[in-house]
């Protein structure tokens, strides 16, 4: 019994350490129904600056617009404004690409990004470049949310997130939904996107 438990633990650890390529592709199986993710989905964001700081203020937002301008396309927009006393620094990152859906799984494939940066409205730099970024999200119809399998904001990924609570790729089991609940309402480094104007 003890060896069986240790073997399971070993396999789970091996999976988490080495088998994360699944978060870059859709499952191979077909589903009876596929999620509908049209519209605008927004993160619920809080300022990242120190509480009650009179010198530094940080305001940011992130959203995904599906079917812009046509079916199968998306636009992902990250914006932030940092206020350091008299200095205001703005940054906007817009990603454009294709998305595809299988069951509750939504794959976003970004093909290009545009980066705009400015300081006190005096200087502005716009960078357009080809870009290759693929990440898998999970859709939940009850909460009307999308959550990526790993934390990502402004196309900067961190090595933690929903994938850490998954026992097997694409398994929507008890462990998966416990992990999803943890990340759903996370305030700091928020993961979830909520459907805007959901009824």
Report the pLDDT averaged over residues 150-155: 93
The DSSP letter of residue 11 is H
What was the pLDDT predicted at 166? 87
* Greater model confidence, 153 or 50: 153
pLDDT tens sequence across 63-82: 999 987 777 999 999 999 98
The DSSP letter of residue 94 is E
Residue 113 near residue 96 (C-beta atoms within 8 A): yes
What was the pLDDT predicted at 17? 42
pLDDT tens sequence across 81-112: 988 888 899 999 999 999 999 999 999 999 99
Token pair belonging to 30: 């077909």
How many residues are present in the chain? 199
What was the pLDDT predicted at 167? 84
Question: Backbone phi, then psi, for 129, in 5-degree steps?
Answer: -150, 155
Question: Backbone phi, then psi, for 9, in 5-degree steps?
Answer: -60, -40
CA distance 139 to 66: 13
Residue 109 near residue 72 (C-beta atoms within 8 A): no
pLDDT tens sequence across 25-40: 999 999 999 998 999 9
Token pair belonging to 91: 């940054």
Domain layout of the chain by residue ranges? 2-195
Report the pLDDT averaged over residues 156-176: 90
Up-side HSE of residue 193: CA atoms within 13 Å toward CB? 27
Q: Predicted confidence band at 18 (pLDDT cuts at 50, 70, 90)?
A: very low
* Greater model confidence, 20 or 83: 83
Report the pLDDT averaged over residues 44-60: 75
Bridge-based pairing of strands 156-157 and 193-195 is: unpaired
What was the pLDDT predicted at 189? 74
Q: Predicted confidence band at 45 (pLDDT cuts at 50, 70, 90)?
A: confident
The DSSP letter of residue 183 is H
CA distance 99 to 72: 5
Q: Which residues of 38-54 are buried (b: 16+ CB within 10 A; e: fewer)?
A: eebbbbebeeeeeeeee
């Amino acid at each position: 019994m003890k060896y069986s438990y240790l073997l399971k633990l070993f396999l789970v650890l091996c999976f988490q350490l080495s088998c994360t390529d699944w978060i870059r592709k859709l499952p191979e199986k077909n589903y009876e129904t596929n999620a509908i993710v049209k519209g605008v989905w927004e993160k619920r964001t809080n300022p990242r600056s120190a509480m009650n700081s009179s010198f530094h203020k940080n305001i940011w937002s992130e959203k995904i617009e599906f079917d812009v301008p046509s079916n199968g396309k998306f636009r992902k927009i990250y914006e932030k404004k940092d206020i350091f006393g008299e200095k205001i620094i703005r940054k906007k990152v817009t990603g454009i690409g294709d998305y595809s859906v299988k069951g509750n799984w939504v794959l976003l494939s970004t093909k290009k990004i545009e980066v705009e940066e400015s300081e006190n409205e005096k200087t502005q730099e716009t960078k357009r470049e080809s870009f290759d970024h693929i990440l898998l999200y999970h859709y939940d119809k009850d909460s009307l949310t999308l959550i990526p399998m790993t934390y990502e904001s402004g196309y900067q990924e961190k090595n933690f997130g929903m994938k850490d609570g998954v026992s097997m790729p694409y398994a929507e089991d008890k462990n998966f939904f416990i992990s999803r609940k943890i990340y759903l309402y996370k305030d700091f480094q928020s993961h979830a996107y909520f459907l805007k104007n959901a009824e």
